[in-house]
Amino acid sequence: MRAVFLYVSGTGNTRRVCEALAGAWRARGHAADCIGLRGNAPLPDLTLYDRIVFGFPVHAFNAPAPALEALRRFPKTDGQKVYFVRTSGEPLALNDAAIVTPRRMLRKRGYILAGDLYYVMPYNIIFRHTDGMAARMWKIVLSRIAEDAKAIEAGTGGLPRVGPIKRFVSFVLRIEHPAMPWIGRRFHAAEDCIGCGACAALCPAGNIRMENGSPRFGKNCFGCMACAFACPKDAVRIGILDGWRVNGAYDLAAPPASDGDICRYCRRAYVKYFRRWEKS
């Protein structure tokens, strides 16, 4: 069987999960193409694949705008199976609402959403998790992917139920889609910038160009945070969101956090998530 792992990813969480899952898929003797979506780059020929795995991070309880833009370009089909791979920083049920619009878009085009693979990964905005928390999340991903690849092969899986309250909250917060390009125009580099160009190279929206050794931010930002996260000098200022800036990669190989080290924010939800997946 042949599968394509298409993903939108800012700070690499969704990419990492999709790559690990593609590795587990190959270990089952199948072929996999793993493709990160960048700007308006053309989609591969989806008719070539037995399975389509579509990854995206949850943004404000929604799929980010480029994920919806990519789905809009999916050709019509007759029952091809799709799996979502969703990553988010909080293990909150509200994040399930992020599948509603993408699922509707798939249905309209004749695809069957066969499963929703949801993984909690370290936060890339608002605050940092500890490396120990991040390592514990990553360990869970690695422990799940073999079974998840098996489910993709079998065409089995489940979808979360999304009730009216979750749908409503998600609908209201979709304001992020028109707001982010506006907020992103106020991004700029502080004096510590060394002109390395990493932000421009990493921006999945192609929204940053280097001019006289400094980054210039355009109007296509979708708030993925890749630029602020990866800047070696922590020099990217993210406008009105600057107090929520998170900079620097997590050490996923750190000793995993103990229960006592779980952050206070959403603590119960993390404990529940860790217990659920560490037991199975």
Q: Where along the sequence are the contacts to ligand SF4 (CB under 6 A)?
A: 10, 184, 187, 189, 193-199, 203, 205, 207-208, 215, 217, 221-227, 231-233, 235-236
At 174, phi and psi to the nearest 5? -70, -5
Look at residue 87 and give the partner it binds from ligand FMN, ligand SF4, none, a contact being a CB closer than 5 to 8 Å depending on partner kind.
ligand FMN
Q: How far is the CB of 123 from ligand SF4 (least distance, A)?
A: 15
Distance (Å, whole) CA 111 – CA 95: 22
Q: Does 207 bind ligand FMN (CB under 6 A)?
A: no
d(CA 169, CA 254): 35
Among ligand SF4, ligand FMN, none, the one that 11 touches (CB under a kind-dependent 5 to 8 A) is ligand FMN
**Burial class of residue 135 in the structure, from the number of CB atoms within 10 Å of its CB (0-12 exposed, 13-18 middle, 19+ buried):** buried
The smaller minimum CB distance to ligand FMN, of residues 21 and 80, is found at: 21
- Interacting partner of 217 out of ligand SF4, ligand FMN, none (Cβ under 5 to 8 A depending on kind): ligand SF4
Query: What is the per-residue burial (b if ≥16 Cβ within 10 Å, else e) of 67-86?
Result: bbebbeebeebeebbbbbbb
Q: Write the binding mask 61 to 80 for ligand FMN: x where contact by CB under 6 A, - elsewhere.
A: x-------------------
Which one, of 64, 65, 55, lies nearest residue 5 by Cα?
Answer: 55
Block residue for tokens 């907020």: 183
Q: How far is the CB of 48 from ligand FMN (least distance, A)?
A: 25
Cα separation of 2 and 17, whole Å? 18
Q: Which positions from 130 to 169 touch ligand FMN by CB under 6 A, shown as an x/- string?
A: ----------------------------------------
Residue 162: CB minimum distance to ligand SF4, A: 27
Residue 66's binding partner among ligand SF4, ligand FMN, none (Cβ under 5 to 8 angstroms by kind) is none
Residue of 212, 163, 161 whose CA lies nearest to 189: 212
Residue 139 burial (C-beta neighbours within 10 Å; 0-12, 13-18, 19+): middle
Cα–Cα separations (whole angstroms), residue 241 to 43, 143, 191, 247, 274: 32, 34, 19, 13, 29
- Is 269 a residue that touches ligand FMN (CB under 6 A)? no
Tokens 């939108």 sit at which residue?
8
Q: How many CA atoms lie within 13 A of 78 on its CB side?
A: 0
User: Among 60, 97, 189, 236, which residue sits at the site for ligand FMN (rule: CB under 6 A)?
Assistant: 60
- In whole angstroms, the minimum distance from the beta carbon of 170 to ligand FMN comes to 9
Choose from ligand SF4, ligand FMN, none: what does 231 bind? Cβ within 5-8 Å by kind: ligand SF4
Choose one: 25-33, 145-153, 183-191, 218-226; the region binding ligand FMN (CB under 6 A).
218-226
Pick 80 or 125: Cβ nearer ligand FMN: 125
In the set 89, 102, 215, 256, which binds ligand FMN (CB under 6 A)?
89
Give the DSSP letter of residue 115.
E
